[in-house]
Amino acid sequence: MTDQQRFFRFLQDRIGLDASSVGSAMIERAVRLRCSAAKAHDLDDYWLMLQQSVPEQQALIEAVIVPETWFFRYPESFAALARLASERLAELKGARPLRILSLPCSTGEEPYSIAMALLDVGIAAHQFKVVGIDISPQSLEQAGGALYGRNSFRGANLAFRERHFVLQAGKHALSKRVRNQVQLQVGNILDPELLAGEPVFDFVFCRNLLIYFDVPTQKRVFEVLKALTCEQGVLFIGPAEGSLLARLGMRPLGIAQSFAFVRHDEPTVVDLPRPQSMAPPPPPPPPPRPQLAARPLPQVVPISRARPRQVLLGEPAKAMLPAQEPTTLLEQIASLANEGKSNEARAACELYLQRHAPDAQVFYWLGLLSDVAGKTLEAQGFYRKALYLQPQHSEALAHLAVLLASQGDMAGARRLQERANRSERNAESERKR
């Protein structure tokens, strides 16, 4: 087992993380940071420290986890929740309050958004309770403090901030009324004792988690989620995870952009209605390959010299390519890919992920490069990561739709193609303003 693989295996065993889902470079960077912070002599020394220290194990997990969340992310999901919660309360007729789960809840933006959405439509505090669970005590500590900066507030509609927050020392402090609705606790979805003995939930939010697991772990986690959700319950997932749930026996609720799924007792049908001739429907047309205007760009060290795949965890990244700003490197990746220099483009993508924060366009290019190379599953993974970071990335949506269609998942392909079309229309509308 190589230096890298033992750390990959540790994270997979502990939190179910599939190294390929985030890219090995991101994990290697986290290991380097912790190795330095722990003052280990080398990777072997750090590995021994890791085995002997529970706090260091948690510290490495914290270094790998990159919370990317904000209030009312995917606003249609919260609008759908408010409507469905009102209907569910009418069915319950006061028998009990609603139970809602947010897992993982990160730094609290999602469970607090749930509470605000329900309070804002007139659902009383005694009629619901939200449970937020995350593997990171550090994230939960931030959630408990309920103090948020500008990055937690995105989008055009921020009226909720005026209703539920007060400005405090340059940050926005959440009202006690909302905080009281949310119970926060540490938990691991792979722990068989998670929420043991607790009642099931009416609504479960588990968004952008399944995409980080390999297929066996996805199935295992799905069974956990199903067990936590009542028979009439609704599961809210991330925009890149719909096809996964469809294959696992769930069906979309039919509310646009809500990413809400319910149990589907009948065998899942993943084909489109066929015309009278019974000929199979054609797959969505492949999107045109993106082209960027030609411009003089810095020369890239050929992959035969750079050898990014063979760089050791402790080897400095500057040995591969000269330091560049993120925008310049993104332009370089696009230029190399469009010129057909796949190896060099992939090396530049991997370098970007080593030096900078994750970027949807980088994962899109990695998906396209894998797609061209015939590595279908790898391409799907990269496209899903792009959609996690940018749910309306039209090119990633369109290419993933084509892949699903080629595998016979016509329903999933159609949903993604419709989202891609909407994204293109919205972008065109913005350009005309």
- Map out the domains of the chain as residue ranges: 3-64, 75-263, 303-432
CATH of domain 75-263: 3.40.50.150
Q: What is the DSSP letter of 1?
A: -
Q: 418: which 2 tokens?
A: 């419709």
Return per-residue pLDDT of the chain as tens, 433 residues: 566 788 888 888 887 777 776 677 778 888 888 888 888 888 899 899 999 888 888 888 878 876 678 999 889 999 999 999 999 999 999 999 999 999 999 999 999 999 999 999 999 999 999 999 998 888 999 999 999 999 899 888 899 999 999 999 899 999 999 999 999 999 988 888 899 889 999 999 998 888 778 788 888 888 899 899 999 999 998 877 777 777 777 888 888 778 889 986 544 333 333 333 333 444 445 444 444 333 333 333 332 323 333 323 333 333 444 556 888 888 888 888 766 788 888 899 988 888 888 888 999 989 888 877 778 888 888 888 888 888 888 888 888 887 877 676 777 777 777 777 776 666 656 555 5
Q: 48: which 2 tokens?
A: 């021994």
CA angle, residues 203, 205, 211, in degrees to nearest 5: 140
Q: Do domains 75-263 and 303-432 have the same CATH topology?
A: no
First to last CA, the chain: 56
Helix, strand, coil in percent for the chain, rounding step 5: 55, 10, 35
Task: Give the predicted TM-score (pTM) of the model.
Answer: 0.62
Query: What values do phi and psi take at 154, rounded to 5?
Result: -130, 165
CATH 1.25.40.10, applies to 303-432: yes
